Amino acid sequence: MTQSSHPAFQPAASHFINGAYVEDTAGEKIDVIYPHTGEVIATLHAATPAIVDAALAAAKDAQVAWAQLSGTERGRVLRRAADLMRERNHDLSVIETHDTGKPMSETLVADAASGADALEYFGGLAGTLTGEHIPVAGGDFVYTRREPLGVCVGIGAWNYPIQIASWKAAPALACGNAMVFKPSEMTPLSALKLAEILIEAGAPKGLFNVVQGYGQVGASLVTDPRVDKVSLTGSVPTGRKVYAAAAEGIRHVTMELGGKSPILVFDDADLESAVSAAINGNFYSTGQICSNGTRVFVQDAVYDRFVARVAERMENAVIGDPMKDATTVGPMVSDRQRQIVQGYITKGTEEGARLVKGGKVIEGAGFYIEPTLFADVTDEMTIAREEIFGPVMSVLRFTTEEEGIARANATDFGLAAGVFTSDLTRAHRVAAAFEAGTCYINAYNLTPVEAPFGGSKLSGVGRENSKAAIEHYSQIKTVYVGMNPTEAAF
Ligand SMILES: NC(=O)c1ccc[n+]([C@@H]2O[C@H](COP(=O)([O-])OP(=O)(O)OC[C@H]3O[C@@H](n4cnc5c(N)ncnc54)[C@H](O)[C@@H]3O)[C@@H](O)[C@H]2O)c1
């Protein structure tokens, strides 16, 4: 790997605490690598215990006064932040493309733009948060207060860095919490920009802090007694560890974890739409999306046509420099992730799946691999059971609705599921039968901020986005009001 000077990407310091950039070079080095070239574009340091302590202290301090503002006042800050994020969308997208390798054709529309949506939506919601009034016997009554949890910790994955940071920060802050966010060590840059934007928008110092680091920094945040809630986006193995660690302090959790989601394509479906959904749901972000529909079950009568059409359409992928407008498939985030994907492709072939297209590493400095299509995949093959997190589509054949549903659900994951059919009642029947948190009918992988997003089974607990997220960043206090003299037995 070559070291080059990229002042545009090197932040003023590694961490953002109490309204300012902070450095502690004693922390382990984190090289930020541009996946297109393998170059180091910035070098940061993992948080030391002193940095973690400073961030949590700042958050704890800032939270009290923030919670005392009216919801409308808090919302105003978030809505200003949304505007700033939109104004800076291009620059933020350039950072995101360099951090993740995802093409500009994606980052311009799906990353900071989605983060801005979350800030705007929860900014609007903040002023509407209320408790309720509950009449009870004898003229007494109860009212509830919706209160913040306190200090929330957010921990991010590397595929959607600023989106993940915003999806966690926006509802947390709207409800009156403070946050310490740890981005993935692979993609540490853009969360710092969110921290800058929030300060510029008028958030008090210390309300949203960013600390960098590997897993152990995340682990130290999760068990700190000052922390009331942990929201993780990551893999199931990490989720297990974080959930268990949070349980020790009975902390609230949101777990947005991995998946192996099914898409069922019935023979009456609009086939071109289903092909588009399968392409988006497997190759967008070079396949690095948690809710990807990586098991595409296609009914007998349209199976061959579907496979042929996907292969044909894959010819149109523009693979290469993610900064070029026309590029639709960028590199993988890292060489390691690419090796993992390569390993799965080898297993797929060894276990008897039919490699229809792709499958090869693209030689060069960047971490490129061809979008890959496997057909004749069966349920017990490794590529049909494990999350690959790369551009590998598995197509499986099915015959009846009942069989399709049973096989779609035969997984420990439960993040997303999709059905393509023109039969209205079947579409709803299948959606109802899916064991997944987020289901789609004749669409796939759309995540508007107004809709709840999250998983069932091993894919997670809690929901992000929508009004549902409020439940996961606030708690209800019950206040019983006695209107009568209190009596006792003696
Ligand atoms: N459901 C969703 O919304 C969603 C979205 C994006 C990605 N994902 C999932 O994320 C995974 C890919 O991301 P990844 O490779 O960055 O995941 P990962 O689990 O390796 O890491 C996620 C984060 O957890 C941190 N971490 C690791 N060990 C920790 C520990 N013991 N305590 C606290 N924090 C710890 C990491 O540093 C990183 O910031 C995939 O499984 C994908 O499906 C889920």
**pLDDT for res 8:** 86
Residue 471's pLDDT band, with cuts at 50, 70 and 90, is: very high
Q: Are 191 and 183 in contact (CB under 8 A)?
A: yes
Q: Tell me the per-residue pLDDT of 360-414, one tens digit each, with 9 for 90 and over.
A: 999 999 999 999 999 999 999 999 999 999 999 999 999 999 999 999 999 999 9
List the residue whose alpha carbon is closest to atom 25 of ligand 1.
Answer: 215
Nearest atom of ligand 1 to the alpha carbon of 258: 43
**pLDDT for res 103:** 98
Alpha helices, DSSP H, located in 20-128: 49-68, 71-87, 89-100, 104-110, 112-126
Cβ of 387 less than 6 Å from ligand 1: yes
Cβ of 327 less than 6 Å from ligand 1: no
Q: Are 239 and 460 in contact (CB under 8 A)?
A: yes
Give the C-alpha separation, 377 to 452, whole Å: 31
- CA-nearest of 174, 208, 91, 249 to 464 is 174
Whether pLDDT at 6 is above 70: no
Give the C-alpha separation, 176 to 350, whole Å: 53
Residue 7's pLDDT band, with cuts at 50, 70 and 90, is: low
Give the C-alpha separation, 402 to 405, whole Å: 5
Domains of the chain: 15-257+459-476 (3.40.605.10), 262-441 (3.40.309.10)
| φ/ψ of residue 429, rounded to 5 | -60, -45
Best substitution site from 185, 233, 412 to test ligand 1's pocket, by max atoms within 8 Å of Cβ? 233
Q: Is the ipTM of this complex over 0.90?
A: yes
Give the C-alpha separation, 388 to 202, whole Å: 41
Give the C-alpha separation, 421 to 426, whole Å: 8
Nearest atom of ligand 1 to the alpha carbon of 185: 37
Q: Tell me the per-residue pLDDT of 430-452, one tens digit each, with 9 for 90 and over.
A: 999 999 999 999 999 999 999 99
Cβ of 241 less than 6 Å from ligand 1: yes
Residue bearing tokens 């192996």: 260
Q: Tell me the per-residue pLDDT of 296-330, one tens digit each, with 9 for 90 and over.
A: 999 999 999 999 999 999 999 999 999 999 999 99
Whole-number Å distance, alpha carbon 87 to ligand 1 midpoint, is 29
Cβ of 30 less than 6 Å from ligand 1: no
Cβ of 382 less than 6 Å from ligand 1: no
Residue 82's pLDDT band, with cuts at 50, 70 and 90, is: very high
Cβ of 180 less than 6 Å from ligand 1: no
**pLDDT for res 128:** 98
Q: Tell me how long the chain is.
A: 490
Q: Tell me the per-residue pLDDT of 38-61, one tens digit each, with 9 for 90 and over.
A: 999 999 999 999 999 999 999 999
Nearest atom of ligand 1 to the alpha carbon of 155: 39
Q: Which residues are catalytic?
A: 256
Q: Tell me the per-residue pLDDT of 196-211, one tens digit each, with 9 for 90 and over.
A: 999 999 999 999 999 9
- Averaged over 6-34, what is the pLDDT? 95
Whether pLDDT at 2 is above 90: no
